[in-house]
Chains A and B, each alone.
Chain A
Amino acid sequence: MSPLLLAQVALTLFVFVMLLSSAAVMVYVERKVAALLQQRLGPYLVGPKGLLQPIADVVKLMFKEELRPRAADALLFTLAPIISATAAFAAFAVVPFGAETTFFGLLDERVRLQVADVNVAVLVIFAIASMSVYGIVLAGWSANSKYSLLGGLRSSAQMISYELSYGLALATVLLVGNSLSLTDLVNRQAGTWLGFIPRWFIFVQPLGFFIYMTAGIAETNRAPFDFPEAEQELVAGYHTEYSSMSFAMFFLAEYINMVTVSAVATDLFLGGWHGPLLPESLGWIWFLIKVAALLFFYVWMRWTLPRYRYDQLMAFGWKVLLPLAVINLLVTAAGVLYFGL
């Protein structure tokens, strides 16, 4: 095995493990931040400051009895959480999280800090986002439970409705960046305007960022668009009948999707690993900080905003966000034409 290949394999496994642990960290952060916002303590018993809580959760879920309704479709019922988890992991494969590096001179060639450097990365993310609907639809349908079916239908309709605005927001960034490769797009954001404003796309595309984040939150089924979990009406939506580790898979998928949406937002709008003070080889620290900030924003949103009503959600997606995204695209095109960005 050449060192380059070895580095690639190591990187792949590293990213995988990092994604897993990020989900664990997010479980803890979510509960701690929720507690902070609601003036409670949150988890504090398991380990110092409750830091081992996610591990305790996993162990608990491992030993839980796995239930599958008798009338359920066994194959699809088992397949659905696997599809969800796989789609969530796969999307991160094309996200770059650092500048090219030789790992402090260990390698002869420079390696990009990303699992797969493809030149249509943005489209790959869009494609995988469109595949994650299936895990949810199948989970809802296969369980043969009314709450599951309704929850699955609702969240899949929600996801496909917001996917359009998501895609259009991505296209708008391409308009400014002229590339489909995420690495290229990040590198276009290096440097500053007037010496102090970073050349991040968020300053050219504030509306695009808003549309992207809104659609991203809806895509990941998070508050205020967390209809699958509208417990007053749907109990637990598409995963009502799931227990034990198959439930954990959906949970994992949700958190990893959040991380991916934040990471892509960082690459597209917040300059990726570019930032002041740190040298480029340590740019991944900036990347982590930005992703963490966006994730905090996610959690903050969840515990601040009440849930929409379903018809409001659909009306917002189709009548506000979609036209807004199209107009934003055209206006950006006109702007590029006029100012020659």
Chain B
Amino acid sequence: MLSPYIPIAIFVVVATGFALFTLVFSGLLHPEKYNKVKLEPYECGIEPLTDARDRYSIRYYLVAMLFVIFDVETVFMFPWAVIFDKLLLFGLIEMLVFIFILVVGYYYAWQKGALEWV
């Protein structure tokens, strides 16, 4: 019995190989005439003065953090949804309690402006 995951691995290898091959192949074809200005990052024609990797808004961190939290929540939904036909009312109440507790946190985050972007 062929494990169903082997084709996925093959597919990934083929895709990576294709991408690598295309990049290398095109590397053989195209011209390479570089100079200092050409290799500068695009900044509307003005010479970049600072490193681009500046510190940025902490909001991205906040979004990533909230994403992790809700992602864990979402992952719980999958097994729940698959066997809901056996859990029935018990499962629904269970999930309502679970989500209610999360809604408290969600409400707090909303009220504290964590979901605002401006």
In their complex, do chains A and B touch, with some C-beta pair under 8 Å? yes
Count contacts between A and B, CB distance < 8 Å.
214
B30 near A143 with CB under 8 A, answer no
A235 neighbours in B (Cβ, 8 Å):
42
With A86-B12, A145-B42 known to touch, is A310 a contact of B117 (CB < 8 Å)? yes
Interface footprint category on A: 35 or more
A81 to B18, CA, bound (A): 12
The answer to whether B30 and A90 touch across the interface, beta carbons within 8 angstroms, is no
In chain B, what residue has the closest Cβ to A164?
Answer: B70
**Residues from chain A with Cβ under 8 Å of B116 in the complex:** 311, 315
> Given the complex of chains A and B, what is the CA–CA distance between A329 and B95 in angstroms?
10
Residues on A with C-beta less than 8 A from B52 are 71, 143-146, 148-149
Assess whether A30 is interfacial by the CB under 8 Å rule. Answer: no
Instruction: Identify which of residues 55-80 in chain A touch chain B, using a CB-to-CB cut-off of 8 Å.
Output: 61-72, 78
What is the distance, in angstroms, from B69's C-beta to the closest C-beta of chain A? 10
Is A246's CB within 8 Å of the partner chain B?
Answer: yes
Q: Chain A: interface secondary structure?
A: helix
User: How far apart sit A338 and B4, CA to CA, in the bound complex (Å)?
Assistant: 37
Interface residues of A in 31-63 (CB under 8 A from B): 61-63
Q: What are the residues of chain B within 8 A of A244 when measuring CB–CB?
A: 26, 30
Inter-chain contact B8/A89, CB cutoff 8 Å: no
Q: Is the Cβ of B8 less than 8 Å from the Cβ of A90? A: yes
Q: Is the CB of A333 within 8 A of B8?
A: no
Let me know if B82 and A8 touch, CB within 8 A: no
Cross-chain contact B41 with A241 (CB below 8 angstroms): yes
B32 at the interface (CB under 8 A from A): yes
Return the CB mask of B51-81 against A: 1 if under 8 Å, else 0: 1111010011001101100110011011011
* The one of A65, A86, A116, A168 that contacts B7, using a Cβ cutoff of 8 Å: A116
Residues of B within 8 A of A (CB): 2, 4-8, 10-12, 14-16, 18-20, 22-23, 25-27, 29-34, 36, 38-43, 48, 51-54, 56, 59-60, 63-64, 66-67, 70-71, 74-75, 77-78, 80-85, 88-89, 91-92, 95-96, 99, 106, 110, 115-118
18 more CB-based (< 8 A) A-B contacts, given A145-B52, A333-B95? A13-B14, A82-B19, A93-B11, A117-B4, A141-B53, A143-B41, A144-B51, A146-B43, A149-B54, A150-B56, A160-B63, A160-B67, A163-B67, A171-B74, A246-B23, A322-B70, A336-B84, A337-B88
List 25 A-B residue pairs with CB atoms under 8 Å apart, sorted by A's residue number: A12-B10, A15-B11, A16-B15, A62-B25, A62-B26, A65-B33, A67-B39, A85-B18, A93-B12, A94-B8, A116-B4, A116-B8, A124-B8, A146-B48, A148-B41, A153-B60, A164-B70, A168-B77, A178-B84, A235-B42, A245-B22, A248-B22, A311-B118, A315-B115, A333-B84
